[in-house]
A and B are shown apart, each in its own frame.
Chain A
Amino acid sequence: MTLAAATVAAAQTTTTAAGPQGFLSPTGVEIAFLLVGLVTFGAAIVTVTTKQLVHAALWLVVALGGLAVEYLLLTAEFIAWVQVLIYVGSVVVLLLFGLMLTRAPIGRSPDADSANRWAALAVAIAAACALVWVVVDAFRTTWIDLDGPAAGSTAVTGASLFQSWVLPFEALSVLLLAALVGAIVLSRRTAAEQRGADATPAGERPAGTPAPGGRPTGADRSSAGARPTSGARTEHDARPSGDDTRADPAGSAPGADDESRGDRKEGAR
């Protein structure tokens, strides 16, 4: 999606540049825009094709950073920094956190491929085409004056966001709130489910002593806390509820260690 936006934007500059200057004498900003767009595009391609999971996340940083630079070049400074703050600073860190908590082998993961890749490619291309078409169609004759006063400064962005576009903005925030509530509901299990869930996956663990049916011992419980599901829960559990403080990050840390070590051995040797 973001990729498509970048290519669209790249196409946009070249079409708008056809006015006074013409294609044959592009300005420095336009050349920089195109080059950064190419880098972003390349990084995005590597992100989805590399077989190394963590490398994919780091290439995503390059792609998202490239987009931020594109915003900067279009004088949308505020959007650029928000892009860095939200995507690079939070989303990618969350992504890396999840990867490191569950499985982050060094080297190639043989199963880091999906049988759905052709379907995914088709969806991606369709989405890109739709976006390119919509954006080109909507902004065909719009000209961004890069030399004049910044068109994307904080004041301008804020004014248009909270005057012209306040309804979509609020609708989006309600959507996000719904997603948040949904995530909490999904991750919150009742005490009975919790007991059942603790007993079942014990048999799937490669090492350790499974205790089928019985109540897990203290040591067993702490390592069971490292399963991806409850690991992901710890963020929510860190909230004041405090019903099972034993499954907090401190409790899950030693277990996460065991699991990652196992993965690492597979990956490295």
Chain B
Amino acid sequence: MNDALDVALRLLIVFVVFLTFPLIVGQAEHKVMAHMQGRLGPMYAGGFHGWAQLVADGVKFAQKEDIVPAGADRRIFQLAPAVALLPYLLVLLAIPIGPGEGAVGEVVDAGIFFVLAVMGVGVLGSLMAGWASANKFSLLGGLRTAAQLLAYELPMLLTAASVAMAAGTVSLPGILDAFEWWWLPWQIVGAVVFFVAGLAELQRPPFDMPVADSEIIFGAYTEYTGLRFALFLLAEYAGIVVLCGLTTVLFLGGWHGPWGADGVGWVWTLLKAALLAFVVIWLRVTYPRMREDQLQKLSWTVLVPLSLAQIALTGIVKVVIA
């Protein structure tokens, strides 16, 4: 009974995090973008600096009519948002935020493989949406999503493999247990490659060619309205949370901080992840969208060689210190 309660409590906490953190990132995006562009952003909803703006948005989305285009493949069209969103919920389960057994939803033995595999499944949602909408812009968006995933999955896996080599384990808490501060300069190239590839996988600017509004309206999500559209948006922000959490755990030492991890480990994790989320928003404001051929070129000619070099470096250092 105690075990069941423990599991239920963990699932509940992860679920609450899943529902609130993406909204916090979204609200931060509203305000940070606004201030970077010399304006205020939402100010009215909720009274204090528009804190309830996303809640109001949610109410608006819920009120909208749920439309399925006449020519669309109904079931796949309706299923796609769930396929896009649920993988991120599963990934959150495996990300440890503090030391010990208590600070992770579920300890997964092959944690790196689990998170990368399940994140890859989320892209299927965009593909399904793009195809099932019976809209040429959606189909183009789906195609671009697939091309982008194929290009950026590889550097992401390779850099994650580099960390796994360094730590000698593929379990996420295991990697953090093995972490030393000098891993930071050692794996810094891998960290940048992983983060950039993750951004591309989430289709965040400057890698938002699949949803380029000036060319193909909103890519795979063009035909969606109401709650289903909101679910796709939520998936994007949940993706940011997951990516920042993963980069923190794999490359930035997770709960390790300058003054030890006693009791405040989870604060360090959240702080680092929040900083990365800020960078994600910052990149959106500062960089123009990359063209499709530039996207492919960046991945195959820059990121893949860099990640291979990182693996080589990891291997050499590992052998030398062994």
Contact = CB atoms under 8 A, between A and B. Distances in A.
Q: Do A and B come from one complex?
A: yes
Nearest to A53: B131
Interface of A: prevailing SS: helix
A18 B299 CA distance: 53
Contacts of B151: 238
6 contacts: A77-B110, A81-B113, A88-B120, A154-B109, A154-B169, A260-B139
A104 B132 CA distance: 10
Interface string A70-94: 0000000110011011001110111
Interface string B99-120: 0000000001110011011101
Interface string B272-295: 000000000000000000011100
B123 interface: yes
Interface residues of B, number: 46
A257 B136 contact: yes
B308 interface: no
Interface in A219-245: 234-235, 238-240, 245
B134 A77 contact: no
B72 A81 contact: no
Interface stretch (B25-33, B142-150, B232-240, B249-257): B142-150
B143 A97 contact: yes
A245 B147 contact: no
A195 interface: no
A179 B113 CA distance: 25
A93 B148 CA distance: 11
Contacts of B116: 85, 89
Q: Top 10 A-B pairs ranked by shortest CB distance?
A: A89-B120, A85-B117, A81-B113, A97-B146, A238-B296, A248-B293, A84-B117, A250-B292, A250-B293, A268-B71
Given A249-B296, A260-B136, A85 B127 contact: no
B296 A96 contact: no
B144 to A, nearest CB: 7
Contacts of A93: 120, 123-124, 127, 146, 149-150
B54 interface: no
A250 B144 CA distance: 10
Contact of B118 (A84, A90, A238, A269): A84
B177 interface: no
B147 A97 contact: yes
A82 B146 contact: no
B121 interface: yes
A3 interface: no
A253 interface: yes
B140 A257 contact: yes
Contacts of B299: 238
Contacts of B121: 84, 88-89
Contacts of B170: 78, 154
Interface string A44-63: 00000000001100100100
A250 B291 contact: yes
A153 interface: yes
A245 B292 CA distance: 12
B120 A85 contact: yes
Interface in B164-204: 169-171
Contacts of A239: 300-301
A51 to B, nearest CB: 13
Contact of A81 (B110, B142, B293, B297): B110
Interface string B149-168: 11101000100000000000
A85 B113 contact: yes
A88 B116 CA distance: 12
Interface string A2-29: 0000000000000000000000000000
Interface in B66-95: 71-73, 76
A154 B110 contact: yes
B117 A81 contact: yes
A261 interface: yes
B128 A58 contact: yes
Nearest to B75: A55
B127 A100 contact: yes
A150 B134 CA distance: 46
Contacts of A199: none
A268 B72 CA distance: 8
Contacts of B96: none
Of the listed residues A77, A89, A245, the one surrounded by the most CB atoms of chain B closer than 10 A to its CB is A89
Contacts of B296: 238, 248-249
Given A253-B140, A256-B143, A106 B73 contact: yes
